[in-house]
Amino acid sequence: MNHFELRGGELHCEDVPLSRIAEAAGTPVYVYSSATLERHYTVLRDALRSAGLGEPLIAFAVKANSNVAVLRTLSALGAGADVVSEGEIRRALAAGVPASRIVFSGVGKTAGEIAFALQSGVAELNVESEPELKLIDQVAQSLGQRAKIAIRVNPDVEAGGHAKISTGKAENKFGVSFAEAERLYANASNAAGLSPVGVACHIGSQITDLAPMEAAFSKMRGLVERLRGQGLSVERLDLGGGLGVPYFNQPAPPTPSDYAAMIGRVMAGLDIAFAFEPGRVIAANAGVLVARVLHVNARPQGRQFLVLDAAMNDLLRPAMYDAWHDIRPVTPRPGPPVTYDVVGPICETGDTFTRDRALPPLEAGDLVAFMTAGAYGAAMASEYNSRLLVPEVLVKGADFAIVRPRETYDAMLARERPAPWL
Ligand code: LLP
């Protein structure tokens, strides 16, 4: 469920017409609904609670939407943060997420980032390989600390979804095997700079079938039991993120309560603190990208190109993963649907949002909204073609705030420096 609805013939975010936001912030612009973010977080939290999983740490995957106002909306409800860089740690802290609710994941943490995380007091570092374990041990010792770590396991399951975002097969770069995890956990418990507290996994993103998750999670339970059988203490089990969302052209993915009930079954009787790292399921349907139609370009061969002022640099998912986003006119016009190729202004054919899409008739100047764009939308945006980074707006009821203004061309150029010989 989300809070983007037609009211009086016009698409609104909560109580605000999107056209009002487009006027205030210009286009393209990302618009987020606080009520939807809050609802998705609380639905997941309540589902996990009622599946008997105690009071789990729900660490929002900051990579999905790193806007500080979005993070603050979630942290106000008690969310933690799953981060993968020093920049994300800084964003989470700036949003008021307590360090004790921050989990630091990622396959390539630098010594500097590890030191920053330890000095900030993050809850745990999820370790993805033996060399990384050694580096964390060294950095922690040099700071006179013991780093709390979890070993990230690669459960070697096929999670479906797009190949570019599947992470749980042995050939992927993430995590270690179960056998290695046992060895590393035991080593870590003897290392002066390490304190192993748990194990973690994350098998992919936009997963729409619970079976691979269930297979991975029961293997994780087995690992916890084996480690404990060796007399090692395992306090935490981090089950990652990955739950899919409806992008409207697919069968409905499992609901948070299906997901939680499955985990409740697999983990029944296991006394452990659970952690989750959801990104998409919380943020995707809480955001849209609003763009304006620049031209309707009808070709003699019959193709109609809808040229927007948004491009692949603003919303990369269609170009990168062939992703499907629903496109809705902000003020739908009456009349039979027209088949369009929807494109941006960037000079490459990859800058195509969709081909042969039947939409209500549109004219130059009309606004359209790309739905389900709140996760991996603005967070993946760039300035390719020297287009200004897309702004972001947060709505709450009848109020809205521009939480990241559009940059200016002066600011863009001011970031660069002349080389002394030029
Ligand atoms: N935890 C870890 C360790 C991750 O690598 C990810 C996502 C998550 C949690 C959150 O997964 P989620 O709940 O959002 O599925 N840019 C791609 C998605 C990349 C996902 C990367 N890792 C896209 O636009 O589809």
- Asked if pLDDT for residue 298 goes beyond 80, the answer is yes
Closest C-alpha residue for ligand 1 atom 19: 165
Helix axis angle, 210-229 relative to 256-267, nearest 10°? 30
Q: How far apart are CA 353 and CA 223, in angstroms?
A: 43
Pocket test for ligand 1, best of 37, 44, 62, 63 (most atoms within 8 A of CB): 63
Q: How far apart are CA 348 and CA 380, in angstroms?
A: 18
Pocket test for ligand 1, best of 205, 322, 380 (most atoms within 8 A of CB): 205
pLDDT bracket for residue 248 (50, 70, 90) = confident
- Asked if pLDDT for residue 274 goes beyond 70, the answer is yes
For 36-57, the pLDDT digits (tens) are 999 999 999 999 999 999 999 9
- Asked if pLDDT for residue 400 goes beyond 90, the answer is yes
Contact 73, 40 (CB under 8 A): no
Interstrand relation of 29-33 and 236-238 (parallel, antiparallel or unpaired): unpaired
- Domain residues of the chain, as ranges? 4-32+284-414, 34-280
To the nearest 10°, report the CA torsion of 58, 62, 68, 74: -20
Which residue, 359, 356, 361, is CA-closest to 335? 361
The whole-number average pLDDT for the span 95-103 is: 98
- Asked if pLDDT for residue 166 goes beyond 70, the answer is no
Q: How far apart are CA 31 and CA 11, in angstroms?
A: 12
The pLDDT of residue 301 = 79
Closest-lying ligand 1 atom to the alpha carbon of residue 316: 24
Which residue, 289, 351, 346, 347, is CA-closest to 320? 351
Residue 6 Cα, ligand 1 centroid: separation in angstroms? Answer: 30
pLDDT bracket for residue 249 (50, 70, 90) = low
Closest-lying ligand 1 atom to the alpha carbon of residue 281: 13
Instruction: Answer yes or no: is the C-beta of 80 below 6 A from any ligand 1 atom.
Output: no
Instruction: Answer yes or no: is the C-beta of 241 below 6 A from any ligand 1 atom.
Output: yes
Instruction: Answer yes or no: is the C-beta of 161 below 6 A from any ligand 1 atom.
Output: no
* Domain at 4-32+284-414, CATH from 3.40.50.1110, 3.40.190.10, 2.60.120.380, 2.40.37.10: 2.40.37.10
Instruction: Answer yes or no: is the C-beta of 61 below 6 A from any ligand 1 atom.
Output: yes
CB atoms within 10 A of CB 130: 14
Q: How far apart are CA 271 and CA 54, in angstroms?
A: 9
Q: How far apart are CA 422 and CA 420, in angstroms?
A: 6
- Asked if pLDDT for residue 161 goes beyond 90, the answer is no
The pLDDT of residue 173 = 77
- Asked if pLDDT for residue 302 goes beyond 90, the answer is no
Query: CA angle, 407 as apex, 405 and 408 as ends, to 5°?
Result: 130
Residue 367 Cα, ligand 1 centroid: separation in angstroms? Answer: 29
- Asked if pLDDT for residue 177 goes beyond 80, the answer is yes
Sign of the dihedral defined by the CA atoms of residues 406, 24, 294, 374, in that order:
positive
The whole-number average pLDDT for the span 272-283 is: 98
Instruction: Answer yes or no: is the C-beta of 206 below 6 A from any ligand 1 atom.
Output: yes
CB atoms within 10 A of CB 37: 28
Q: How far apart are CA 170 and CA 328, in angstroms?
A: 40
Q: What is the mean pLDDT of the chain?
A: 95
Catalytic residues: 347
Closest-lying ligand 1 atom to the alpha carbon of residue 205: 15
The whole-number average pLDDT for the span 169-190 is: 90
The pLDDT of residue 96 = 98
The pLDDT of residue 1 = 65
Closest-lying ligand 1 atom to the alpha carbon of residue 323: 25
pLDDT bracket for residue 309 (50, 70, 90) = very high
The whole-number average pLDDT for the span 254-259 is: 97
Per-residue b/e over 155-184, b at no fewer than 16 CB within 10 Å?
bbbebbbeeebbbbbeeeebbbebeebbeb
The pLDDT of residue 315 = 98
* φ/ψ (deg, to 5) at 204: 150, -175
3-state secondary structure the chain: CCCEEEECCEEEECCEEHHHHHHHHCCCEEEEEHHHHHHHHHHHHHHHHHCCCCCCEEEEECCCCCCHHHHHHHHCCCCEEEECCHHHHHHHHHCCCCHHHEEECCCCCCHHHHHHHHHHCCCEEEECCHHHHHHHHHHHHHCCCCEEEEEEECCCCCCCCCHHHECCCCCCCCCECHHHHHHHHHHHHCCCCEEEEEEECCCECCECCHHHHHHHHHHHHHHHHHHHHCCCCCCEEECCCCECCCCCCCCCCCCHHHHHHHHHHHHCCCCCEEEECCCHHHHHHHEEEEEEEEEEEECCCCCEEEEECCCCCCCCHHHHHCCCCCEEECCCCCCCCEEEEEECCCCCCCCEEEEEEEECCCCCCCEEEECCCCCCCHHHCCCHHHCCCCCEEEEECCEEEEEECCCCHHHHHHCCCCCCCC
Residue 236 Cα, ligand 1 centroid: separation in angstroms? Answer: 21
**Which residues lie across from 354 on neighbouring strands?**
342
Range of weakest confidence among 26-30, 155-159, 251-255: 155-159
Residue 138 in tokens: 């060294």
Instruction: Answer yes or no: is the C-beta of 88 below 6 A from any ligand 1 atom.
Output: no
Instruction: Answer yes or no: is the C-beta of 123 below 6 A from any ligand 1 atom.
Output: no
- Asked if pLDDT for residue 163 goes beyond 90, the answer is no
Q: What would be the CATH architecture of the domain defined by 34-280?
A: Alpha-Beta Barrel (3.20)
The whole-number average pLDDT for the span 187-209 is: 96
Q: Which residue has the tokens 């994300």?
A: 88
Q: How far apart are CA 315 and CA 376, in angstroms?
A: 8
Instruction: Answer yes or no: is the C-beta of 67 below 6 A from any ligand 1 atom.
Output: no
pTM equals 0.97
